[in-house]
Every structure is written in structure tokens, then in C-alpha cells.
Amino acid sequence: MSAPDVMAQNNTDIEMIMNASAYYVAKHYNLSMGEVWRMKQYEFCESLAFASAADKIKQEEIDKMSKESKGKMRVAGTDAGQPMPFSD
């Protein structure tokens, strides 16, 4: 049994991270992967940061709206003290 090739594993991890980040940017901005790979390094870094920040803000707004709406909606007929709707 031989020790794992740590350097090869690290290169694979970096490649996977770069591919996933490029896909994330492409999906967010509706670009092709080729367009993303042709970006300058600073453009890619800014695009990745802005896309990530936009998704974080979007998720925070969804969470806020979800939290505010919890408990405010009632389903007709779920209150045991009231008759079922259309049961007249």
C-alpha cells in the first residue's frame, strides 16, 4: 500500500473549485463557460464576488419574508372551534 499523492489531490481539488466557480459565474450572469474562461483574472474575481453577494442578499430577503409571513396565514377549517368552510 502506498501513500496517497497529496500534490495530485490538491491539484484536482483546485481544478474542481475553479470549474465550480466558473460554472457559478456563468450561471449567474447567463454566460457560456468559454466567456467565463476568457475573462481577465480581476473580472472573474469581481464577478464571482458580486454573484456570491447577490445570492446571499437574495437568500436573506427570502428568509426575512418567510419569517415575517410565518404564523400570519391560516388555513380555513383548521380551527376546531369553527365550522368547516362550505359546511352549511
pLDDT band at 66 (very low <50, low <70, confident <90, very high): confident
Tens-place pLDDT, residues 23-61: 999 999 999 999 999 999 999 999 999 999 999 999 999
Total structural domains within the chain: 1
Q: What are the Cα distances from residue 79, in Å, to 16, 52, 74, 76, 82? A: 53, 43, 9, 7, 6
- Distance separating alpha carbons of residues 39 and 26, to the nearest angstrom: 11
Residue 50 inside a domain? The answer is yes
With a cut of 80, say whether residue 20 has pLDDT above it.
yes
What is the model's pLDDT at position 22? Answer: 96
What is the model's pLDDT at position 80? Answer: 62
What is the model's pLDDT at position 35? Answer: 96
Residue 77 inside a domain? The answer is no
Parent domain of 57: 32-65
Tens-place pLDDT, residues 68-84: 776 565 555 566 666 66
Residue 51 inside a domain? The answer is yes
Residue 86 inside a domain? The answer is no
- Distance separating alpha carbons of residues 72 and 47, to the nearest angstrom: 38
